[in-house]
Structure 1
Amino acid sequence: MDLANVWGQLAALTAAAFWAVASILYHRAGAHFSALQMNLIKGAIASPLLFAMSALVGAPLGFSSGLWLLALSGVIGITVGDSCHFAALRRLGPWHAMLLEYLAPPLAALMAWLFLNDGLSGIEIIGAMITLLGVLLVVTERTPTQQPSLSFSGVLFGCGAALCQATGLVMAFSVLQTDALDPINAAFIRLAAGSILLAIIVGLSQRHAFQALFRQCRAINPMPLLGAIFFGTFLAIWLQQLSIAHINPGLTQTLLSTAPLFLIPISLLKKQTITLRSVSGALVSLGGIAILFL
């Protein structure tokens, strides 16, 4: 196998592992912040890191019409999508919130077919249906008392996050296909645009919103949150771009979708119970994504 392909695959798998660990750390910090606040803190810290990385290794950034579409993709995928993900994370926990992200690849494939003239073959349709089946196996699971084990609002937020992230991904890829834009620059533009709008929304939500946010940050141990941002946002995005540079985006998305599987050994080490149905649903969804993209 080509060494570049190996590096690309290892980069995607490492990013998936970082996202899995970060989801646990974000969940721990989520009790102290709202979804919007958490998303804003993430962007405020990760955006300068991405800018520094872009300045060091990225090509010079020029202005083009595609930048506006890229910024809009950041608003949809990050301002709305990541806020929905953090809301789902608070209500569902890391395992189920990440499993709902399995909806993003088939949704992205459907939108690429509708808007980018990238047609779906029969096998790709089958892959999308298998992915949805795996998600349904998990989100419809019930407790022994036959009460829904998952928050309905949490599931809605998780589905909304997948839809927004898929939309942002398709928009970003459409720009990268037509504009000579370095992927790390694209990642910075999307995150910065999404974070700027978040700052405006949080600032208008209440008086002295930022002072209150600073007080909340000082009242907690910042290390879990900083670790989540550094590994789950900054490094994971960089590894994602590195993977796309060496292997096709479909394979990258498939490997990134293994993130929930990394939660299984982590949860077992923490002596937490994961049901056979949840594990089966994760594996079925992963198989569907592999069929969809490979």
Structure 2
Amino acid sequence: MPLLPMASMVSVMPLMGEAAALLTAILWGLSACMHTSAARLVGSLSLNLFRLPLSLLFFLAGMLIFGTPWSLPEGAAGWFILSGVVGLAFGDVVFYASAVRLGARLSVLLWELTPAATAVLAYFFLGETISLTGMAGIALTMLGVLWVLLEKHDGSIPDLTPQRWVQGIFFALVSVAAQSVSTVCARNALIMGGDVLTGAALRTGSASLALWMFVLLAGRAGHVVRTLRGSPKALRLMLAAGIIGPTVGVWLSLVAVKYTKAGIAATIIGLEPLVVIALLAVYERKRPSPRLAVGAAIAFAGTAMLFLR
């Protein structure tokens, strides 16, 4: 098979990060649907404590199979560890704390502030810039996502008191900040020359260790183990979802932030809620509402503008 001309290879490289981000959104959307089904059986805490160590095993196996180097450039390991603890561990915990109070729809809606926050952090700490076309694409993508997520899909939350409302908003914003910091930290490590697969394993391992240390200190480890043993179906779902999302998806997300700007990668990955809505519409065999169709068209138009930035 003839090699591609150098010019063709160069023309493809600028799209690698965006393509990886889009695939991340699709895989994370599919994984989210499967994880949600498992969480209904064993609870969100058991879910998070199982999926991260499982992903770590997959990453370590991948490193052995592909002969990935175990070493990282000086300073990169610390940034990967910080990224994992802040984003995969702490960020997820406070996000679910918000979802419990506000409901998943509003929490995910607020979480869509993450791309903007990531772009701002990358501007100050990584020296990244975004063109006017890129800024317009980000705004249009967020507009489409917000348009879909603001549609009322379920009933009101009966125990949503003013205090719980304030707490939910606070936890959601903290989660946005955590995810933004996590992305910028990972981007910084990759700029230093850190390997994507090694970085993914280190991020996942540090997050898993942080979560299990928290559970052990809280005295809930035994309860988690008993819950998992009592639901083989949930274990099968988490096994499949663990390969799709936290393993392949996380690896692709790091490929995205390595080959494109952090704010742009976060924006495209932010299409995940649309993927979830589309998958559920197919699974439930319900025709999408006009608002869903228009919102999806707006969001993907914004993504196209990011490709043309």
Could you tell me the TM-score, scaled by structure 1's length? 0.78
Matched, 1:210 2:221: yes
Equivalent residue in structure 2 for 1:169, among 183, 186, 200 = 183
Structure 1 gaps of 5+ residues are none
Aligned partner of residue 180 in structure 1, secondary structure: coil
Report whether the alignment pairs 1:227 with 2:237: no
User: Compared with structure 1, are the counterparts of its residues 140 and 13 closer, same or farther at alpha carbon in structure 2 (3 Å cutoff)?
Assistant: closer
SS of alignment partner, residue 31 of structure 1: helix
Percent of pairs identical after alignment?
Answer: 23
For residue 185 of structure 1, what is the aligned residue in structure 2? 198
Matched, 1:260 2:270: no
The answer to whether the aligner puts 1:71 opposite 2:85 as a matched pair is no
Change (3 A) 1:229 1:283: same
Distance 1:137 1:272 in 2: 19
Instruction: Give yes or no for contact 2:75–2:189 (8 Å, CA) kept in 1.
Output: no
Contact 1:12–1:252 (Cα < 8 Å) also in 2: yes
How far apart in 1 are the matches of 2:237 and 2:99? 15
Question: How big is the shift at 1:73?
Answer: 1.5
Q: Which residue of 1 aligns with 2:57?
A: 48
Match of 1:39 in 2: 48
Deviations 1:135-173 (A, max 9, x none): 54345444799x689x75666655543332221011111
Q: Say what the alpha-carbon RMSD is for the aligned residues.
A: 3.6
Partner of residue 39 from structure 2, selected from 8, 27, 30:
30
Which SS does the other structure have where 2:40 is aligned?
Answer: coil
Quick one: structure 1 residues 27 and 160, their matched pair in 2 at CA, closer, same or farther if it must change by over 3 Å? farther
Gaps of 5+ in 2: 1-7
Could you tell me how far apart the structure 1 residues matched to 2:34 and 2:225 are? 19
Alpha-carbon contact 1:267-1:274 (below 8 Å) kept: no
Q: CA deviation at 1:86?
A: 4.4
Query: Which whole-Å CA distance do the structure 2 matches of 1:264 and 1:144 have between them?
Result: 13
Tell me which amino acid in the other structure corresponds to 2:229. R
In the superposition, relative to structure 1, how do residues 55 and 87 fare at CA in structure 2: closer, same or farther (>3 Å)? farther
Answer with 18-27 or 5-14: which moved more.
5-14
Give CA-to-partner distance per residue, 1:32-88, whole Å, 9 cap, x none.
445443222111111122122223332231462332222111111111122344456
When residues 87 and 219 of structure 1 are mapped into structure 2, their CA distance, relative to the original with a 3 A threshold, is: farther
Q: CA deviation at 1:14?
A: 3.8
Aligned pairs, number: 287
Between stretches 257-266 and 3-12, larger displacement belongs to 3-12
Distance (Å, rounded) in 1 between the aligned partners of 2:265 and 2:121: 18
